[in-house]
Structure formats: C-alpha cells, structure tokens
C-alpha cells in the first residue's frame, strides 16, 4: 500500500467515525420553584436550663437547578421567613441528591441556614424530602429538617439551638 493510499484510507476511516458519532449538543439545565410551610420543636439552653418549645411557623420560597448530565444532584436555595411571633428572615443555600422510585423522588440534602434579620444565627441543616409527582411539572412534598445553630446573636454563649421541623409544600418544574 502506498503512502497516499494509506493516508486516503485513514481519512476515510476518520470521516466514517465522525459521521457515525452522535451529534454534539450543549449541556442543558433544569429548574424548579417551590413553596412550603412548616414547624416543629426547638431545643436550646439558657440560664443553666434546657428549654424545649414549639418552633415558629415558617415559610420557605425557593428554587433549585440541575444539569442533564448530572440529574441526580441539585443545587439551590430558599428564603425562609418565620411568620409567627418575632418575624425573621433567613437565606438557606442547599444541595440535594435525588433518587427516583417511580412517581416518588427521595431527596436527602444539606444546607446552611443564615438568619439575617432581626437577629443573626448561622448553622447547618440536614433534610430528607419525599416528592410525589402529579404530572410533568407539578409535585407535592413532605420534608423533615434538622437544624443546628451555633453562631450568632440569638445563640446563647457556649450553646447551640437545635430544631426538628417538618414541612409540606408544592414544587413546579420550570
């Protein structure tokens, strides 16, 4: 085989491979918006005593996003507003993993709640959410949230505030 014939054969093989390969496409993103409400139990200490009380009713309004290449990992956050008693506002960035079991999606997650007004409080949050799909764009969910706050003007010295909350809500895929 001559050098020209070998080069022609190599070019033909390269063109055949390129033609057989799947067409390139851009990475796509998905997004969803949600609203939920919840409350539960709050545990803290002060004046040498442990205090257990019902946590304040809160509303979360947020969004999450994902890519088609890594659909099971979502990133997002919410604005949390405590609407009972002393109103307060927090931002909660979070990440979640998602596993589908038919129409049900299970989402364990982690977040960093940061209350900014009228006091400050920063902590960590673990969550477990179950989302029931009601079609292509609508879902209803229930969640269990466990928060531990250890920094801020509303956290007693040498102490932490723990919250065990439940929430229900709706989610709309965008």
What does the CA dihedral 116, 122, 123, 124 come to, rounded to 10 degrees? 50
Name 158's Cβ contacts closer than 8 Å, sequence gap at least 6. none
The pTM of the full predicted model, rounded to 2 decimals, is: 0.81
Say how many Å lie between the first and final Cα of the chain, rounded.
59
Phi, psi of 37 (to 5 degrees): -140, 150
pLDDT of 101 above 80: yes
What HEC string does 17-45 produce? HHHHCCCCCCCCEEEEEEEEEEEEEEEEE
Q: What are phi and psi of 149, to 5 degrees?
A: -105, 130
* Domains with residue ranges and CATH for the chain: 28-173 (2.40.160.20)
Quickly state the pLDDT bin for 80 (edges 50, 70, 90): very high
Do residues 118 and 143 make contact, with C-beta atoms less than 8 angstroms apart?
A: no
CB atoms within 10 A of CB 153: 9
Number of H helices, E strands in the chain: 1, 11
Mean pLDDT on 5-32: 60
> Residue 23: what pLDDT?
55
Q: Which of 160, 141, 162, 155 is nearest to 78 (CA)?
A: 141
């019902």: which residue's tokens?
54
Query: What's the average model confidence in pLDDT over 39-61?
Result: 92
Q: What's the pLDDT score for residue 71? A: 85
- Average pLDDT (11-33) is 65
The pair of three-digit structure tokens given for residue 171, joined into one six-digit string: 């989610």
In the prediction, which pLDDT does 1 show? 54
Q: Mean pLDDT in the chain?
A: 88
Sort residue 47 into left (φ over 0), alpha (ψ -120 to 50) or beta: left
């Amino acid at each position: 085989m001559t050098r020209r014939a070998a080069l022609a054969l190599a070019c033909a093989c390269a063109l055949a491979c390129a033609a057989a390969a799947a067409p390139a496409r851009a990475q796509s993103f998905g997004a969803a918006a949600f609203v939920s409400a919840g409350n539960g139990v709050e545990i803290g200490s002060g004046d040498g005593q442990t205090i257990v009380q019902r946590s304040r009713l809160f509303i979360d309004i947020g969004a999450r996003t994902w890519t088609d290449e890594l659909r099971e990992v979502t990133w997002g956050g919410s604005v949390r507003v405590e609407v009972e008693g002393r109103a307060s506002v927090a931002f909660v960035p979070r990440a979640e993993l998602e596993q589908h079991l038919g129409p049900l999606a299970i989402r364990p997650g982690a977040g960093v709640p940061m209350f900014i007004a009228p006091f400050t409080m920063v902590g960590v949050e673990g969550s477990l959410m179950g989302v029931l799909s009601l079609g292509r764009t609508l879902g209803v969910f229930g969640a269990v949230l466990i928060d531990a706050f250890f920094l801020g003007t509303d956290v007693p010295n040498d102490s932490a505030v723990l919250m065990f909350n439940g929430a229900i809500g709706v989610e709309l895929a965008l």
